[in-house]
Structure 1
């Protein structure tokens, strides 16, 4: 893949955006599912559960970026800055969409862990968030921003 992101276009740019969004989805899904499970299991208020999910999504999303950057020899502070630049808008977009969908599904936030409504709405919200976030990442990468900043750390 070309490292000149301004020259990247068409399918190559879309493939890169999809790859970046899968990366984002991985961290977001870990945090989102964990937060929803913890919040639901503990009977936390819906707003508290969403806040917990968002915090964990950012934590895991950034952690998945920091790890390989640290492995490339970058000190933690520098790796954290790379994660902020690479993932913030992507994670934020995914979390806004994901949580808006979950809140919009009647009864989803109040359904128990054994409910198909709970798991189905959570899975559906992640799919919708992925679809909405791909063009955001495509736009960022096309401008040399977002996940494009990660390429100098790939082995």
Structure 2
């Protein structure tokens, strides 16, 4: 894996595997941050307005992608990349990760009885959302690990972090 080799660490060594795991967890935490902002905002708006589960989830997913991409685009723009190129980096870095995270967390919200109908003042709503996001994080770490190992996903952003 090129990413580790330029750090002087063999990718299949214990140090290389630890570094890959660290990078995957960091990338997933980055993804979780954007997803959580959008997911929480969408769930709160949709639930507070009494929208259907479908409408609420559509809004939450749209906002999760918006904030997920935004958290990537801003630092890439600061590194000097043009907007079009920054958008390309964000799409390449985050699309699969956000997609997996959104599928998992919204499926869990739908599977927990009463979670979507509980309302924003309910512990059931907030507890369910916290569990959904935590499970989504755990499921998405191996996805990001595989992407980074193959030089994809957040690996494409690596050159813009400095």
- Which TM bucket (shorter chain)? over 0.9
Cα offsets for 1:26-66 (capped at 9, x unmatched): 00000000000000111111100000000000000000000
Task: Determine which structure has more spread, i.e. the larger CA radius of gyration.
Answer: 2
Moved >2 Å (runs of 4+) = 2-9
Kindly report the root-mean-square deviation, in angstroms, between the aligned alpha carbons of the 2 structures.
1.3
Q: Aligned-pair distance for 1:154?
A: 1.3
Is structure 2 residue 18 aligned with structure 1 residue 11? yes
Equivalent in 63, 88, 107 of residue 100 of structure 1: 107
Give the structure 2 partner of residue 125 of structure 1.
132
Q: Aligned-pair distance for 1:4?
A: 2.3
Normalising by structure 1, report the TM-score. Answer: 0.96
Is structure 2 residue 30 aligned with structure 1 residue 23? yes
Asked if structure 2 preserves the Cα contact closer than 8 Å seen for 1:3 and 1:151, the reply is: no
- Any stretches of 5+ residues in structure 1 without a counterpart? none
- Aligned residues, how many? 154
Moved more, 5-14 or 74-83: 5-14
